[in-house]
C-alpha cells in the first residue's frame, strides 16, 4: 500500500508538471465546473419550488446529493477517463505488454497512471456543497463528516470497480468505448433522489447499476437519513465490487494474448 501511494504521488506530480504547460486549461475547467454547478443548482431549485419535496427529500438534503454527484463526476474526469479510456487501445496495440513487465500491480498502473488535475475544482465544489448542506441542516459535526467520508470512499470504490470491469471487457470485445459511456449516462440519474423513481427503476439503480450505493448512500449519511441496514449493504457492496474487479482482471489476463505474438 505504501509503495502504491508513493507511486501515486509521483504520477500526480508528473501529470501536474505536464499540465502546467497549459495553464489556460485550469481556468477553463474551473469555469466549466462552476457552470455545471450553477445549471444543476438552478434545475434543483426550480424542481423543488414546484414540488416542495422530491422522493421525501428536502431542498437542503438534495443539495448534499448533488454535491456527492459533482464529487464523483470529478473523480471520473480526474482518473477514470484519463486512464481507463486508454486500456482498449493498449490491448489492441500490445502496449499492455510493457506494463505487464513492471514490478507493480498492473491494475494499479492502468487505473492511476495519469491524472487530469484540471478537474480538481469539481471535487472541491462538490465537497463544499455537501458541507453547506450539512451546515444548513445543522449536521456539520466531526462525527457526521467522518461518516460521510466513509461512505464517499465506499461509493468511490463501487464506481471505480464498475467502470473498471466494464472497460476490462475490451480483452474479449475489441470496441467497448461506448460501454462506460452508457454507464456514465445512467449515472447521471444519481443527481436526484433514488426514492423519487418508480420501484422498478429504484431496483435497477441499486442492484443492477449501483448508482444508489455511489451517490445516495453517502448523501444520506451526510444529512442523517442513513439507516444502518443500508449502510452495511453499502460497505458490503464496496468490498464485493472491488473483489470482483480484481477477480475479473485476473481472469482477463489469463486469457490475454499479446498483440505482438
Q: What is the full DSSP assignment across 67-113? A: HHHHHHHHHIIIIIHHHHTTHHHHHHHTTHHHHHTSSS-HHHHHHHS
Residue 259 lies in a domain: no
pLDDT digits (tens, 9 = 90+) for 183-204: 999 999 999 999 989 999 999 9
- pLDDT (average), residues 219-244: 95
Q: Which of 74, 156, 160 is nearest to 119 (CA)?
A: 74
DSSP 99: H
Residue 23 lies in a domain: yes
Domain of residue 90 covers 2-254
Residue 87 lies in a domain: yes
Indicate the pLDDT class of residue 261, thresholds 50, 70 and 90.
low
**Number of domains composing the chain:** 1
Q: Which pLDDT score is estimated for 169?
A: 93
Q: Are 222 and 144 in contact (CB under 8 A)?
A: yes
CA atoms within 13 A on the CB side of 188: 8
Quote the pTM value: 0.92
Residue 34 lies in a domain: yes
> What's the Cα-to-Cα distance from 246 to each of 18, 107, 111, rounded to whole Å?
30, 8, 12
Residue 20 lies in a domain: yes
Residue 260 lies in a domain: no
- pLDDT (average), residues 145-172: 95
Residue 129 lies in a domain: yes
pLDDT of residue 8 exceeding 80: yes
pLDDT of residue 164 exceeding 70: yes
Amino acid at each position: 500500500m505504501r509503495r502504491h501511494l508513493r507511486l501515486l504521488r509521483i504520477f500526480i506530480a508528473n501529470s501536474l508538471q505536464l499540465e502546467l504547460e497549459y495553464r489556460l486549461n485550469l481556468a477553463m475547467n474551473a469555469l466549466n465546473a462552476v457552470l455545471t454547478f450553477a445549471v444543476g443548482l438552478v434545475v434543483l431549485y426550480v424542481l423543488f419550488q414546484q414540488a416542495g419535496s422530491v422522493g421525501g427529500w428536502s431542498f437542503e438534503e438534495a443539495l448534499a446529493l448533488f454535491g456527492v454527484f459533482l464529487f464523483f463526476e470529478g473523480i471520473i474526469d480526474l482518473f477514470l477517463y484519463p486512464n481507463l479510456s486508454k486500456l482498449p487501445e493498449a490491448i489492441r496495440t500490445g502496449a499492455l505488454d510493457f506494463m505487464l513487465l513492471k514490478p507493480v500491480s498492473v491494475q494499479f498502473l492502468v487505473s492511476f497512471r495519469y491524472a487530469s488535475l484540471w478537474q480538481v475544482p469539481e471535487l472541491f465544489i462538490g465537497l463544499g456543497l455537501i458541507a453547506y448542506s450539512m451546515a444548513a441542516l445543522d449536521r456539520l459535526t466531526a462525527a457526521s463528516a467522518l461518516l460521510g467520508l466513509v461512505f464517499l470512499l465506499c461509493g468511490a470504490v463501487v464506481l471505480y470497480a464498475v467502470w473498471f470491469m466494464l472497460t476490462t471487457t475490451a480483452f474479449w470485445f475489441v470496441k467497448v468505448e461506448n460501454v462506460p459511456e452508457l454507464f456514465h449516462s445512467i449515472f447521471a440519474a444519481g443527481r436526484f433522489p433514488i426514492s423519487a423513481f418508480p420501484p422498478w427503476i429504484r431496483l435497477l439503480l441499486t442492484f443492477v447499476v449501483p448508482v444508489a450505493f455511489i451517490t445516495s448512500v453517502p448523501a444520506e449519511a451526510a444529512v442523517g437519513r442513513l439507516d444502518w441496514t443500508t449502510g452495511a449493504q453499502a460497505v458490503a457492496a464496496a468490498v464485493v465490487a472491488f473483489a470482483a474487479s480484481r477477480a475479473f482482471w485476473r481472469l482477463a489476463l489469463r486469457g490475454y494474448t499479446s498483440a505482438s505474438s
